[in-house]
Chains A and B, each alone.
Chain A
Amino acid sequence: GAVVSQHPSWVICKSGTSVKIECRSLDFQATTMFWYRQFPKQSLMLMATSNEGSKATYEQGVEKDKFLINHASLTLSTLTVTSAHPEDSSFYICSARPSPGTDTQYFGPGTRLTVL
């Protein structure tokens, strides 16, 4: 149980285009989902926290207009990288927390974004 999927697993796009990444909790409902970014040989950096039905909370330095997050249901959150540029190339990982008041997060397999 407690499986989180991400789609796509990898994507290559041209500079200036927008890319949407989906994060789904397959066998549980997630009141909170998290989006992380990981550059090569670096650790995961939290980008934003999204709660179902409300606006996402972005970490300092993360542009909310560039990284659009939607958490419209208890099993799906999406991250849209708008007007992507090569510096946005990274590994994006989501996680899902089953219920408030718990610390457990289940992580997705990640999405490799390459912007040419």
Chain B
Amino acid sequence: KQEVTQIPAALSVPEGENLVLNCSFTDSAIYNLQWFRQDPGKGLTSLLLIQSSQREQTSGRLNASLDKSSGRSTLYIAASQPGDSATYLCATSGSRLTFGEGTQLTVNP
């Protein structure tokens, strides 16, 4: 059974800082890995999807990497802004999506 873990559970940084969110998974037999953003009381917004054959994906200030062999992915956020404050979830796709518990990010002005 796939298990997805995210570290840290919460992170508070000053505006402008670069930061890294970590995601690890136990079963490397995945189709892809996704990073989502969830604002309080809202649904999910897909940020990046990395296919199992890929090493990384970039979108604006976001860069996600994937190392299947070690069961790890990182989400790098450059020049963080207060509007980046949200919970970030990673999820692996196998027979179903398996989510981590998320990292709650607060970017302070």
Contacts and interface: CB of A to CB of B under 8 A. Distances in A.
Contacts of A104: 49
A109 B43 CA distance: 4
A110 B41 contact: yes
Given A46-B96, A49-B96, A103-B31, A93 B44 contact: yes
> Which residue of B4, B32, B97 has the most chain A CB atoms within 10 A of its CB atom?
B97
A103 B93 CA distance: 7
Interface in A55-80: none
Contacts, number: 44
A22 B43 CA distance: 15
Contacts of B61: none
Contacts of B15: none
Interface of B: 4, 31-32, 36, 41-46, 49, 89, 91, 93, 96-97, 99-102
Interface of A: 6, 34, 41-46, 49, 91, 93, 95, 103-110, 112
18 contacts: A6-B43, A34-B96, A42-B101, A43-B101, A43-B102, A44-B44, A44-B91, A46-B97, A49-B96, A93-B43, A93-B44, A95-B44, A95-B97, A103-B31, A103-B93, A107-B44, A109-B43, A110-B41
